[in-house]
Amino acid sequence: MSDIQQQIQEHAKKLLSDKTVDLFIGYKDINEPMLTEPAFIRDAKDADQLIWNPFCEHNLAKYLVGRNEKIAIVAKTNDVRSIVVLINEQQVIRENLTIIGVNCDDVIDRKKVEAEMDGKDITSAQIKDDKLIVKAEKISKTLKIKNYLHDSCLDNKRDMSEICDIIIGEKSSCKTEEDKYAKIRELEQKTPEERWEYFKKELSKCIRCYACRNACPLCYCKSCFVDQKFPNWVGQTTDLSDTMCFHIMRALHTAGRCVDCGACVRACPNGIDLRMLTGKIEKDVKELFGAEAGLNPETDNPMTSYKEDDPEDFIK
């Protein structure tokens, strides 16, 4: 682990001192257990702040839009796919970008760990080989890291090394992709009433903080539909109808673009499983239009292209 960290620091020093890039975006430590924050390094002297550990969960692609400078960015496999979408949508200029691909085999899901701690606040967390030692008030637990990884990391194992400029760490050692839509298929089999109850329960947790939108690397509109007043597309309340409309629309806006990086789920303070919505669209787009986002910067977005023989059995 520290080996990857050392390599990131070395690359940062080199890229910044020979002026290949103006800005290096990576992760740095904050004094909170199990958390890191994005680091924006402009001076080679500060490169020592950069870290790499299983808590580097942010999708840094979020910070690329709207910057007109040469940037190097640390990107996990899924983050690389987000960057590819941004390049495809002409939000980021590829030539200005140095992508440092890091294999994201072990990014820990904080919420899964917190669930083990009987609702107590975690006071410290340490990594020891493949184990995580977490401490809370009067509790200390040693957990196997591989049981506490993010679902979005487990479900998406792609080799994105062709896109990256620099690759750190060995290739992903994770198993082949299982049926990532199993949970969605299971829900699809249920009756409309059961599905409605599921989403009612899930989405009534929403407090409309828009953290999911703010964390999403693809939400870069200057004015978002939720902030618009004329027309007022969606009410600013936590009324179920309003939250539903917000989430349906947010999911629809990611259609054909979402790479399932899981940033929205990680950002949600109330633990709403938003991947059940975006994943459904991702699955449909894949099944119906044969497209997957973020694999190739050259391919068209499936929602802004068409085929004359697209399925239309639902149209009278």
Q: Are 198 and 187 in contact (CB under 8 A)?
A: yes
Of 142, 188, 214, 221, the one binding another protein by CB under 8 A:
188
Q: Report if residue 195 touches another protein, rule: CB under 8 A.
A: yes
> How buried is residue 230: exposed, middle or buried, by Cβ count under 10 Å (0-12/13-18/19+)?
exposed
First to last CA, the chain: 58
Closest contact distance (angstroms) between CB of 248 and another protein is: 6
d(CA 286, CA 272): 24
Q: Report if residue 205 touches another protein, rule: CB under 8 A.
A: no
Q: Report if residue 85 touches another protein, rule: CB under 8 A.
A: no
Q: Is 135 in a helix, a strand, or coil?
A: strand
Of 117, 166, 224, 244, the one binding another protein by CB under 8 A:
244
Of 33, 38, 169, 235, the one binding another protein by CB under 8 A:
235
Q: Kindly identify the residues of this chain, within the stretch 260-299, that bind another protein according to CB under 8 A.
A: 277, 280-281, 284-285, 288-289
Task: Pick the closest to residue 89 from 307, 262, 306, 301 (CA basis).
Answer: 301
**Hey, how many other C-beta atoms are within 10 angstroms of the C-beta on 215?**
19
Closest contact distance (angstroms) between CB of 246 and another protein is: 10
d(CA 42, CA 84): 24
Distances (CA, A) of 268 to 35, 90, 241, 274, 287: 15, 28, 19, 9, 28
Which is closer to another protein, CB of 141 or CB of 205? 205
Please state at what angle helix 192-203 crosses helix 240-253, rounded to 10 degrees. Answer: 100
CA atoms within a 13 Å half-sphere pointing along the CA-CB vector of 310: 15
Q: Report if residue 182 touches another protein, rule: CB under 8 A.
A: no
Closest contact distance (angstroms) between CB of 268 and another protein is: 18
Q: Report if residue 225 touches another protein, rule: CB under 8 A.
A: yes
Q: Report if residue 224 touches another protein, rule: CB under 8 A.
A: no
Which is closer to another protein, CB of 40 or CB of 306? 306
Q: Report if residue 26 touches another protein, rule: CB under 8 A.
A: no
Closest contact distance (angstroms) between CB of 229 and another protein is: 14
The C-alpha torsion from 156 through 158 and 164 to 167, rounded to 10°, is 90
Which is closer to another protein, CB of 210 or CB of 233? 233
Of 119, 175, 223, 314, the one binding another protein by CB under 8 A:
314
Task: Pick the closest to residue 247 from 282, 204, 289, 284 (CA basis).
Answer: 204
Closest contact distance (angstroms) between CB of 201 and another protein is: 11
Query: How many residues lie near another protein (CB under 8 A)?
Result: 43
Q: At which residue do the structure tokens 């200057």 appear? A: 222
Of 197, 214, 236, 296, the one binding another protein by CB under 8 A:
197
d(CA 42, CA 295): 30
Per-residue binding string, another protein, 102-121, x by CB under 8 A, is --------------------
Stretch that binds another protein, among 119-127, 131-139, 185-193, 206-214 (CB under 8 A): 185-193
Of 211, 233, 292, 297, the one binding another protein by CB under 8 A:
233
Instruction: Name the DSSP letter for residue 66.
Output: T
**Hey, how many other C-beta atoms are within 10 angstroms of the C-beta on 45?**
11
List residues binding another protein (CB under 8 A): 187-188, 192-200, 225, 233, 235, 239, 241-242, 244-245, 248-249, 251-252, 255, 277, 280-281, 284-285, 288-289, 302-304, 306-308, 310-312, 314-316
